[in-house]
Amino acid sequence: MIVEKRQHWITHLVAVRGTAVRRIWLRLIEVTAVAAVVTYLYKKHDFFTEGITVLPFTLIGLALGIFLGFRNNTSYDRFWEGRKLWGRLVNTSRTLTRQVMTLIGPGPDAGGDPELEASHKELVYRVIAYVHAFRCHLRDQPFADELRPFLPAEEVAALEGESNVPVAILHRIGQRFRELYDAELVHPLHLSLLEESLATLTDIQGGCERIKATPIPKSYNTLMHRLVTFYVFALPFGVVQQVGIFTPEVTVLVAYAFLGLDAIGEEIEEPFGIDPNDLPLSAMSRMIEVNLRQRLGETEVPAMLEPVDGVLQ
């Protein structure tokens, strides 16, 4: 995610990083070249003097603008839904940690029990491991190095064979809750609260997996790409009689609008990647880790992730 201080509007006019320009600049050059050739042939050799009017391009452009607006709204809904789900993940992780620290134990007078403190630390570390594993799961990244600081080495090795590592970690947390319940360290009413938090994490994961596994239908994206491409390359033939030598300028401006909207919709429809405009899952995972470790009383915690060249991963 791009994180920048409030800037002057002129800065936005010349900005390139994180914009659609990086994805469409070559096509803009190609469209400008076609428009320049059409203008030259029209002015010097009287080509394209009749037969094509601007009316079809007006009608198609109106419909295309509506379609692109709908597609971009759909893409942003996916992006925003992903952000809301990760916001719930932050809150639920904090809630579960608080429940572990305050509800697991024989009573308020059990403070200082080394075994109880070890159980608290183990469970909180498992929650942290779940968050990191979930991020790696969404980004299709290796998870072992992320989990080694929080889980036993043999357990990390065993997770290599799991098709869904975050689910396996949640399952183990649930098993530990049952073991502590059997040891009479968890009240029956409190066990239901702990299970509810695990169920919420499962729902959050399912929502994110739904977004990842269900992209916008390929047929719709393909239709948009084709229509936009055909439209911007054919536009010079329809406007050259009306705008003359300004055909390249008019064409590239319209092309930037349509190609840019098409590129933006395609980029933000997958919010869990590592592109500049994707969600900063690494930064949110680190924030959760720091928050939870501080609840354990740890003072030596990693620093929060900062933007690199204005981009927060």
In this prediction, residue 22 carries a pLDDT of 82
Residue 146 Cα distances to 88, 109, 291, angstroms: 22, 35, 17
Q: How many CB atoms lie within 10 A of CB 289?
A: 24
Distance (Å, rounded) from C-alpha 281 to C-alpha 133? 11
Contact 74, 221 (CB under 8 A): no
Could you tell me the two tokens for 26? 């070559």
pTM over 0.85: yes
Contact 68, 224 (CB under 8 A): yes
In this prediction, residue 194 carries a pLDDT of 97
Distance (Å, rounded) from C-alpha 198 to C-alpha 49? 70
Contact 97, 127 (CB under 8 A): yes
Contacts of residue 69, defined as CB under 8 A and 6 or more positions apart, other chains included, come to 261
In this prediction, residue 11 carries a pLDDT of 61
Distance (Å, rounded) from C-alpha 58 to C-alpha 49? 19
Residue 104 DSSP SS3: strand
In this prediction, residue 312 carries a pLDDT of 81
Could you tell me the two tokens for 71? 């597609």
- The mean pLDDT values, 10 residues at a time, for the chain of 313 residues are 63 63 89 93 74 81 91 94 98 97 76 85 98 97 96 95 97 97 93 97 98 90 91 91 90 93 90 91 97 95 85 77
In this prediction, residue 311 carries a pLDDT of 74
- Indicate the domain borders of the chain: 9-75+215-223+236-268, 76-214+278-295
Distance (Å, rounded) from C-alpha 161 to C-alpha 150? 18
In this prediction, residue 254 carries a pLDDT of 94
